[in-house]
Amino acid sequence: ESCLLRIVGGLIQYRRQLLPSDAAGRKTQQPKVYVTDAVSYIKSHYADKISVSGIAEFLGISRAYLNKAFQQELGMSVQRFLIDYRMHSAANLLYNSEMSIQQISEAVGYEDQLTFSKAFKRKFGVSPTCYRNPSHPIRIYHEKQPGPPSDGA
């Protein structure tokens, strides 16, 4: 377990202690808080072999509830967000580094370069090699991101 993982986990647990409790004494949390915590986790661990189930388990909620919260807040599944985040990170590395496509695929959490290349082409419409080509027009993509959790609302 990495130091960063322990720190993120500790911050999430601390924030949960500050939450109000329901009539049964259970801590209550709005879906937006779970989404924000999941996004932070994804941004810290997207290069690792993480899964939606693992993220939900880390947050202490069910996979179904996490997906419902993502749909409600971002209009997409957790899996879609994770893939999109990995693809945007890969596009940044393709554009700004000299790393090989194999190195980039590993750096964004793909063990298999072919699987990575297929996912990249599905997302951007071109292969990683073509995207890296200086004559390829750079496309700007805007993904919906969660804002900071509100206090008490």
Single pTM value for the model: 0.72
Convert the pLDDT of each residue in 111-134 to its tens digit.
999 999 999 999 999 999 999 887
- pLDDT-based confidence at 153, cuts 50/70/90? very low
Q: Which residues pair with 21 in a beta bridge?
A: 27
pLDDT (0 to 100) of residue 116: 97
Q: Given a cut of 90, is residue 104 above it in pLDDT?
A: yes
Q: Given a cut of 60, is residue 142 above it in pLDDT?
A: no
One-letter amino acid at 109 equals G
Mean pLDDT, residues 71-92 taken together = 95
If one counts every other C-beta atom within 10 angstroms of the C-beta of residue 15, the result is 15
pLDDT (0 to 100) of residue 100: 96
| Mean pLDDT (the chain, rounded) | 81
What share of the chain in percent tops pLDDT 70? 68
CA distances from 89 to 19, 47, 70 (A): 33, 10, 20
Place of tokens 């027009």: 137
pLDDT (0 to 100) of residue 6: 65
Q: Given a cut of 70, is residue 92 above it in pLDDT?
A: yes
- pLDDT-based confidence at 40, cuts 50/70/90? very high
- pLDDT-based confidence at 27, cuts 50/70/90? very low
Q: Given a cut of 90, is residue 20 above it in pLDDT?
A: no
Dihedral, CA of residue 69, residue 45, residue 149 and residue 81, to nearest 10? -40
pLDDT (0 to 100) of residue 133: 82
